[in-house]
Structure 1
Amino acid sequence: MGAVPGGLDTDTDLPLALPLRHFVVGLGFLALGALVGIGQVAGVVPGLASLAHAHLLLVGWVCVTIMGAMTQFVPVWSGASLYSPRLASFQLALVVAGLSGFVAALTLGAMAWLAPFGALLLLGFWTFAYNILRTLATVEEYDVTERHFGYALGFFCLLTLFGLGLAVDFTHPFTASLPVDHAHLRQAHATLAVFGAVLTTIYGALYQLGTMFTQSDLHGVDHSLQSVEAAAHPLGVVLLAGGRLVGSVPVARLGGLLVVAAALAMSAVLGRRLFEMQVEWEPMHTRYGVVTVALVAWAVSAVPAWISAPTAGAHLFGASGSVHLLALGVVGTVLVGTLYHIVPFIIWVERYSDRLGFEAVPMIDDLYDDRLAAADGALWVGGAVCLVGAAWLGLPSPVVAVGGVMVGLSIAAFAANMLLVVHEHGPDPFDRVLLGSLSPRPEPVAEDDSSPSDV
């Protein structure tokens, strides 16, 4: 990305350290989730290791990154001021505290602590939703991205409510007296999380990012595809989650097919943007190409699974064995690719944009190491192919191990690259980005420009 994308007003009052703090914390949870996953395979992580692994990656990395991205770009894209930067900082503290305690309780078998830490998670995400909704309330007319973000915030509120119910049910099984049992509640919770909060946010962002970084516009059939996706996806998520919650196969089947139709429409829009792009092909476009192919493959494979048994546990995320295709090929690739241009972009705008034309300054893609980026991209795709292939083709366990190691190395390279960008080019010291006002480093004192000769 050699130039600043056009049409984007970055002149906001939001402190740069605030979204960066979300991204850095998300990277920390990503690394910890990868370690827990490796430890789970090795059999050295106690307790409910699979749940801890899933929450670290989905909540700790994906959702915290979404929180930071929305906090930064909803004001930018909507031309509004963030309702409360203080609430944005508070939301992160609540989620970090809640998730850390929740994962510790899962691994240590301290089930009584799941509900209190789950309540902190709920409070953190509801604070985030309230802050963004109050920001969007100042917008006169919503575009497709803003509507998707509004739907996603509603899904965030519902999924955390269901999650808290699941946490309470571990020690005080209230679902035993309800028509909805623990398994159905868990399925609805997972559906709202992955397809509701996460995919809805990603689709909304791709309408902006896809056009911005290909310098192309939606036209012709794109508008029809957008209308299909924008209507089918949120309705499909509601029906799929609701059908699973009450155990209704027909309702869940209809919802699943709507979600699949929306995924195919979104992949077509993204693919057309890549085909018609007006800039030179770069590594980030390759990542979006991977997303397009993976989204089509996931959607096509999900059709027979969700027609036959949409409420089956094995088909929670589509076809049996497709979880890595969705998680790594679609969600993870979008987040990694987006962070590779968003983090350097917002730092470049803050630190270097005003100096452009007056002195030699680096371009945006000069801020990160392109060799590390190429290496982590190859490792990520290679690891995903190994894991998906092992699940679908019944390949031996060494293939799974190789795939896991490749994804782990990719995560390490990606995290190192992003942290180096923040450390070397960020306008604030790294400890102040991470800790904010809790940093031991004192605030910089403005220097007195006067000299002895001026006195």
Structure 2
Amino acid sequence: MGAIPAGVETDAGPPTAIPLRHFLVGLGFLLAGAAVGVLSSLGVLPGAAPLAHVHLLLAGWVCVTILGAMTQFVPVWSGTTLYSRRLSRVQLWTVTGGLAGLVGCLLGSYYAWLPVFGGVLLLGFWIFVYNVGRTLLSVRPWDVTERHFALALGFFLVVTAFGLVLAVGYTRPVLADLPVSRSGLRDAHATLAVFGAVLTTVFGALYQLGTMFTQSDLHGVDIPLQRIEEIGYPIGVVLLASGRLFEAALVARVGGVLVALGVASLGLVLGRRLVETAVEWNPMLRRYAVAALAMVLWTVLAVPAWIADPLDPAATFGAAGTAHLLLFGIVGFVVAGTLYHVIPFIVWVDRYSDRLGFESVPMIDDLYDDRLARIDLAALVVGCGLLVLAEALPAPILGSRTTALLLFAGSVSTVGFALFAGNLFLTIRRHASGGTPSAEGQGGSEFN
């Protein structure tokens, strides 16, 4: 793989410290979420541990990573300037503080404080939406990635507003005079968070990354598949969330089918890019391959379940027992694969780009430990597979062994995530001679 993909203007991005700090904080949330998941399976954590687990992984690792990635690469891809560097710093610490407080309240059962920290969390995400939104407004016309990102920003606005209402609802009957139930609002919130904000962002990025880093172009059946996803998927998310919010099964059913078709379409497009890749396989592409397979398998299971009953709480994330297939197998592997390129890429640009042509410099894929990358991939595939198996098999088959299998699968996954995070952290430590790049530098800057 080349040092820098052709056509990418790295000088357009903000200082490299900004996205790197997002990624490091996100990795911290990842490890905390994995640990909470293991301890929760043992039943030793107080309060709403499963809810804390989900928020640490989704709002913490995945969304904080999205914040850093969009802040860095929207200006790079779009050839413009980030609207405000100061806001990009504020968004990180506001989201981090709000989420840490929210998780603490959930674990400690301090529900009276949930609206406070929920409000801080909302503020952080809205600062991000404003900053990236203003950046995108300066770009015309939008390509497929930018259109996905704009839709994702809208989903972030709505899902955080729903989340704040749910947080307030722990102490006040805010839904008493509204035509929706708490369960309907909760299901709509989860739908918009995962299928709206997160997956829409992921899909938009994959159109860019899947072609750029396989050095292949969309062609043939890819074009109609892209149209199905780009048009049908966001409509499906809105219909599925609305149907769940107002408990309208027919609306949710139509939306669910459109969402599933969109996921399958993107999975097939990504799979075709990987089959036709012109570059050597690397940690990024291997994890994308796992995600592409998971997309197709998840769709096959989700469609009949959502046609039967899209309002079933067990089917919030597809067929009953496939939540880990969606959240771990698709979202987790895409984010992990992307970070295996993005973090070394940012470090390379800051440390080595100005030396290119004057001295021998390493390639991007030389910055991390490939052996550790292979080990963490094996651990994550095994852990994910066992979690999916434990979740999908009927209780009578496993019986009392369910808890043991979940604990083992969670432990293997935690080891994989620890190796993954450690590999990337060591990449920064080894090649940034002292930690994250300075806040003022871009390429060739000094390091703290």
State the TM-score, normalizing by the size of structure 1.
Answer: 0.93
Match of 2:218 in 1: 218
Is 1:426 aligned to 2:432, yes or no?
yes
Distance (Å, rounded) in 1 between the aligned partners of 2:29 and 2:266: 29
Is 1:196 aligned to 2:201, yes or no?
no
Residues 152-167 of structure 1 mapped to structure 2, 5 A cutoff? 152-167=152-167
- Alpha carbons of structure 1 residues 376 and 152: separation in structure 2 relative to 1, 3 Å: same
Match of 1:141 in 2: 141
Is 1:412 aligned to 2:418, yes or no?
yes
Q: Deviations over 1:168-191 (max 9, x none)?
A: 011001213322111100000000
Distance (Å, rounded) in 2 between the aligned partners of 1:404 and 1:184: 30
Q: Deviations over 1:243-298 (max 9, x none)?
A: 00000000000000000110111011111111111112233222111111100010
Secondary structure of 1:362's aligned partner: coil
Q: Return the offset for 1:6.
A: 1.8
Match of 1:453 in 2: none
Q: Deviations over 1:53-101 (max 9, x none)?
A: 1100000100000000000000000001000000000011110110011
Q: Return the offset for 1:140.
A: 1.5
Distance (Å, rounded) in 2 between the aligned partners of 1:284 and 1:48: 34
Q: Deviations over 1:334-357 (max 9, x none)?
A: 000000011101111121122123
Distance (Å, rounded) in 2 between the aligned partners of 1:35 and 1:217: 40
Amino acid at match of 1:188: A
Distance (Å, rounded) in 1 between the aligned partners of 2:335 and 2:418: 15
Distance (Å, rounded) in 2 between the aligned partners of 1:219 and 1:378: 32
Is 1:271 aligned to 2:276, yes or no?
no
Q: Return the offset for 1:13.
A: 5.2
Residues 279-318 of structure 1 mapped to structure 2, 5 A cutoff? 279-318=279-318
Amino acid at match of 2:419: A
Distance (Å, rounded) in 1 between the aligned partners of 2:107 and 2:200: 30
Distance (Å, rounded) in 2 between the aligned partners of 1:332 and 1:275: 21
Match of 2:115 in 1: 115
Amino acid at match of 2:429: H
Match of 2:187 in 1: 187
Match of 1:358 in 2: 358
108-117 vs 215-224, which moves further: 215-224
Is 1:233 aligned to 2:239, yes or no?
no
Distance (Å, rounded) in 2 between the aligned partners of 1:196 and 1:110: 29
Q: Return the offset for 1:2.
A: 5.1
Distance (Å, rounded) in 2 between the aligned partners of 1:294 and 1:45: 31
Q: Return the offset for 1:361.
A: 1.4
Q: Deviations over 1:298-323 (max 9, x none)?
A: 01100111001101100000000100
Match of 1:56 in 2: 56
Distance (Å, rounded) in 2 between the aligned partners of 1:400 and 1:114: 29
Distance (Å, rounded) in 2 between the aligned partners of 1:193 and 1:372: 32
Residues 7-22 of structure 1 mapped to structure 2, 5 A cutoff? 7-12=7-12, 14-22=14-22
Is 1:399 aligned to 2:400, yes or no?
no
Q: Return the offset for 1:445.
A: 11
Amino acid at match of 1:391: E
135-144 vs 171-180, which moves further: 171-180
Amino acid at match of 2:223: H
Amino acid at match of 2:274: L
Is 1:126 aligned to 2:126, yes or no?
yes
Over 3 Å off, 4+ runs: 443-446
Aligned length: 438
Secondary structure of 2:28's aligned partner: helix
Amino acid at match of 1:413: L
- Alpha carbons of structure 1 residues 399 and 80: separation in structure 2 relative to 1, 3 Å: same
Secondary structure of 2:215's aligned partner: coil
Amino acid at match of 2:435: F
Unaligned ranges ≥5, structure 2:
none
Determine if contact 2:238/2:255 at 8 Å carries over to the other structure.
yes
Match of 1:451 in 2: none
Secondary structure of 2:127's aligned partner: helix
351-360 vs 256-265, which moves further: 351-360
Match of 1:173 in 2: 173
Instruction: Give percent identity, aligned residues only.
Output: 58
Amino acid at match of 1:207: Y
Higher relative contact order (CA 8 A, sep 6+): 2
Q: Return the offset for 1:359.
A: 1.5
Distance (Å, rounded) in 2 between the aligned partners of 1:431 and 1:142: 32
Distance (Å, rounded) in 2 between the aligned partners of 1:313 and 1:393: 18
Residues 59-98 of structure 1 mapped to structure 2, 5 A cutoff? 59-98=59-98
Q: Return the offset for 1:360.
A: 1.9
Secondary structure of 1:175's aligned partner: coil
Secondary structure of 2:149's aligned partner: helix
Amino acid at match of 1:330: I
Secondary structure of 2:9's aligned partner: coil
Distance (Å, rounded) in 1 between the aligned partners of 2:436 and 2:283: 30
Determine if contact 2:17/2:436 at 8 Å carries over to the other structure.
no
Q: Return the offset for 1:7.
A: 2.1
Determine if contact 2:19/2:68 at 8 Å carries over to the other structure.
yes
Q: Return the offset for 1:426.
A: 2.3
Determine if contact 2:91/2:128 at 8 Å carries over to the other structure.
yes
Determine if contact 2:235/2:258 at 8 Å carries over to the other structure.
yes
Unaligned ranges ≥5, structure 1:
438-442, 447-455
Distance (Å, rounded) in 2 between the aligned partners of 1:19 and 1:156: 19
Determine if contact 2:49/2:106 at 8 Å carries over to the other structure.
yes
Residues 238-277 of structure 1 mapped to structure 2, 5 A cutoff? 238-277=238-277
Determine if contact 2:369/2:423 at 8 Å carries over to the other structure.
yes
